[in-house]
Amino acid sequence: MDKFLVINGPNLNLLGKREPEIYGTLDLAGIESYTNKKLGDLGYNVDVEWFQSNGEQEIIEKIHAASEGSYKALIINPAAFSHTSIAILDALRVMKCPVIEVHLSNTNLREEFRKNKITAKSSSAVIEGLKEKGYFLAILSQLI
């Protein structure tokens, strides 16, 4: 069975409450359910581990642990850390599997500082602006 790790960064625990016009109305549990259902509807039997932290250190430690694992891909939404964290960028460079960066909103249509995604420099691909569909498509991209 293919294994995927999904890492979510700071403030994503507030999804559904924080700026729903930008991020949508689903919380993380809703996004997880949506993703798992869509994969199941297509007949994919995969193991998806979900993780969220507001702390940079915890995210880095999770990436370090994942680099020793046998994941088909790492899906990461670094949230605000994507614009600031060289430490997460460096940690992602250790991954042997593909890294797909996901953003719920289209960062290119937002504030100027959001257009520079430091962590994307270590990603195989970036999917953004598709809200909850981005996670599903990131995993699906590694299955087809």
Q: Is residue 71 annotated as a catalytic residue, yes or no?
A: no
Cα dist. 31→12, 68, 70, 113, 123 in Å? Answer: 11, 26, 24, 26, 21
Look up residue 75 and give its DSSP letter: E
Give the active site residue among 34, 44, 71, 103. Answer: 103
Give the active site residue among 23, 34, 64, 135. Answer: 23
Cα dist. 88→18, 55, 111, 127 in Å? Answer: 24, 11, 22, 18
Find, among 64, 69, 52, the residue nearest to 3 by Cα.
Answer: 69
Q: Is residue 23 annotated as a catalytic residue, yes or no?
A: yes
Q: How far apart are CA 123 and CA 59, in angstroms?
A: 16
What tokens appear for 121 in the block? 């420099």
Cα dist. 56→13, 75, 108, 135 in Å? Answer: 14, 16, 23, 21
Catalytic residues: 23, 103
